[in-house]
Amino acid sequence: MSTESTQAIEEAASAWLIRRDSRVWTPADEARLQAWLDASSLHRVAFWRLEMAWEESARLKALGAGIAGHQAPPRGEWNLTPFFDSSDQKVALDEEGASGVETDELCDTSHGILEGPSVARESAARKRAWFSVTAFVTAASLLVIAAGGAYFWVEAAKDRYTTSIGGIASVRLQDGSNITLNTATEVHVDLTNKERDIDLARGEAFFEVAKDATRPFVVSAGKKRVIAVGTQFSVLRDGDEIRVIVAEGTVRIEDRGQRSARPPALPVAAAGSSDAMLLSAGSVAHAGDSGVLVQKEPQSETEAQLSWRTGVLMFRDQTLAEVAAEFNRYNERQIVIRDPAVAQFKIEGNFRATNVDAFIRLLENGFAVRAIESDGQIVLSSN
């Protein structure tokens, strides 16, 4: 049994952790850290525990994305972020009714999920919009808001939502649908009486569509339109190439020129065009100028591809080149692979999308790989 107190060990562990994180870290430092870790299992588990929590704390970024300036948002104002939607509150309250005042505070004020109009109103009312989804409202819409929110919504609502690199955000639309925006994403929402028009200007988003047979839910991305009535699917846009993953229900994918917003229930033949295509749950479709390629994937595979919604990237037997490209979507600091042999390393595992440092450290520990960082680039080469 160690004679050191738990507290003393924890203090020492936190000192190592922060020092490694914040300073020039030399091989000699690393050797001293390793010696400390090797000295006692209690040291090691204390260090891992703090390291894990510290890595998780980077997820505050998800709440901070889009917040201008350097100052942290005031305490308790998290409830303005779209993450605190009604379902989450229920979970929090279920916690043996325990969390007491804090929970109540959070929940009481947060049932106004970031609906389109409240985003707009909130941002107008506040000095600075700091939540992760920023909404921009046209001057015309603002006038209508002044006239009355409810009326405004029946007519039309044009909103723009964006996330910055590394940010993930969720928006509840007035019709009950939910959009989760992945890193560096921009969507425009235009709800009318006839159609729910979403324009994916860039990036990737996951759509949970509230059922409404009278108003098709249409996601436009580049030259394609993806149409649903009530279903769950994601669309990733890279220029005019798109990737659609259907988690639930059915969606139709067609060229943008076809302005018929028919619900997707029609079979392909009836849709009257060979360019329109029905996708069922488990489908992963790549669509571009050259046509549409559809693959059927087992659920575990589609789940892995949609895991970004939890801030985690899941890789199954993918090359380091693919993995690096994925990380680069979430981080300003870009991973560059100079060595073709290194690019072919196979990677498997779950990683925090924004914790590129932890990933690089693992690579260095697990493979003969050396990482050199300069000018916002992390260059990988064989050791």
- Scan residues 311-350 and list those touching another protein (CB under 8 A): 311, 346, 348-350
Nearest CB to another protein, comparing residues 14 and 273: 14
* Element at 198 (helix H, strand E): strand 196-208
With CB under 8 A as the contact rule, the residue among 3, 26, 27, 87 that binds another protein is 87
Helices (H) and strands (E) in the chain, counts: 13, 19
DSSP state of 210: P
Q: Is residue 58 a contact residue for another protein (CB under 8 A)? A: yes
The CA-atom distances, in angstroms, between 224 and each of 17, 188, 236 are 48, 15, 12
**Smallest distance, another protein to C-beta of residue 193, A:** 31
Out of 30, 38, 102, 303, the only residue in the binding site for another protein (CB under 8 A) is: 102
Shorter beta-carbon distance to another protein: residue 51 or 122: 51
Nearer to another protein, 52 or 124 (CB): 52
- Classify burial at 122, counting beta carbons within 10 Å of its beta carbon; exposed 0-12, middle 13-18, buried 19 or more: middle
Question: Restricting to residues 117-146, which ones interact with another protein according to CB under 8 A?
Answer: none
Structure-token match 């997707």, residue found = 264
Measured between alpha carbons, how far is 265 from 268 in angstroms, rounded to an integer? 9
308 close to 204: Cβ distance less than 8 angstroms? yes
DSSP per residue, 134-189: EEEE-HHHHHHHHH-HHHHHHH-EEEEEE--TT--EEEE-TTS-EEEE-TT-EEEE
Q: Is 104 in the site for another protein (CB under 8 A)?
A: no
Residues 361-380 that bind another protein (CB under 8 A): 362, 365-366
As measured in angstroms, the least distance from the Cβ of 198 to another protein is 21
Q: Which is nearer to another protein, 98 or 336 (CB)?
A: 98
Beta bridge partners of 319: 346
SS3 300: helix
11 forms part of the interface with another protein (CB under 8 A): yes
Q: Answer yes or no whether residue 239 interacts with another protein by CB under 8 A.
A: no
Single out the segment in contact with another protein by CB under 8 A; choices: 26-34, 66-74, 115-123, 183-191. Answer: 66-74
> What are the beta bridge partners of residue 255?
224
The distance of closest approach from Cβ of residue 334 to another protein in the complex, given in angstroms and rounded to an integer, is: 15
Instruction: Please say which residue, 137 or 171, places its beta carbon nearer to another protein.
Output: 171
Q: Is 24 in the site for another protein (CB under 8 A)?
A: no
* Interface of this chain with another protein, residues 147 to 186, rule: CB under 8 A: 168, 170
15 near another protein (CB under 8 A): yes
Biggest alpha carbon distance in the chain? 79
Q: Judged by CB, which is closer to another protein: 76, or 239?
A: 76
